[in-house]
Structures are given as structure tokens and as C-alpha cells.
Amino acid sequence: MHREIGFSPSRRQLLATTGALFAGTAAAQPVRKANPAPAGAKQSNGALHRQKLVGFMLGHEQFTVPQLVETGKMAAQAGFNLLATSDHFQPWQANEGHCGEAWVTLGALGERAQAGWMGTT
């Protein structure tokens, strides 16, 4: 159920917050691989980028997180090898009822679906 939160930032407040977010992400360090390849193992450099990707976009604006996870699972089983969702503040306007969290959704989906690529747009 959607409820009003009673907070409506001005453009100036929103831009100040956005600047702080960008500054924070610029300072972030790259993440190491959890399971690096053994020494001497042949590594795939961009194998995923060489194959044809057919994607399915999971819309937080229209569906709840459990619905998106189930839909994403079915999309992967149907042959979609790219599953994506948008990672931005939602809903954009008052008539959009859902406000899912992209990374939580992708984490739950990663446990239930096998896709070549999952991420945000």
C-alpha cells in the first residue's frame, strides 16, 4: 500500500544531495573478485560481451518485489540472458504505487535465476 511520506524536497535540496552521492561514489574503490582464477588458468576477457544478449527489464513502478523476482526467474528460464532493473528514486510521481529497491531485488533474483548478466540501467 502506498502512503505519502510528507517530504517534498526543493530542487536545490535535491541537487545538493545528488552532488554528495556522486562524490561518495567517485571515492569508492574497485571490488576484487571473490574467487580469482588459479595461476595459469585461461581467463575469459569479455566473453559475455561477445555473445548476443536478449534482455528483460523488471519495472519497479508497476510490480512488487516478489512479483519481479518470480517474473525474472521465469524470464531467465524462457531464455532471456540479461535481467535488469532501474536504480533510481521511485516512484517518480504520486500515481506510481511501488518503490522497490533495485539491489535487494537483484540479490533475491540472483538466488533464484540463472542469467548471463543482471544489473541496473
CA-derived radius of gyration, the chain: 18
Predicted structure pTM score: 0.55
Spatial contact of 53 and 90, defined as CB atoms under 8 Å apart: no
pLDDT at 84: 92
- Give the chain's domain count: 1
Residue 118 lies in a domain: yes
The band of 114, judged by pLDDT with boundaries at 50, 70 and 90, is confident
Domain hosting 111: range is 53-121
Across the range 63-67, mean pLDDT stands at 87
- Domain assignment present for residue 59? The answer is yes
Give the Å distances, CA to CA, from 44 to 38, 49, 50, 80, 104. Answer: 13, 10, 11, 21, 28
Instruction: Tell me which residue has cell 518485489.
Output: 65
Beta strands in 48-91 (DSSP E): 55-58, 82-85
**Would residue 41 count as lying in a domain?**
no
Please enumerate in sequence order all residues whose Cβ is within 8 A of that of 61, keeping only pairs 6 or more positions apart, or say none. Answer: 90, 91, 92, 96, 98
**What mean pLDDT comes out for the span 41-52?**
61
* The predicted structure's pLDDT at residue 91: 61
Closest CA to 81 of 37, 121, 116, 41: 116
Q: What is the predicted pLDDT for the residue at 59?
A: 85
Structural domain contains residue 117:
yes
Q: Is residue 58 part of a domain?
A: yes
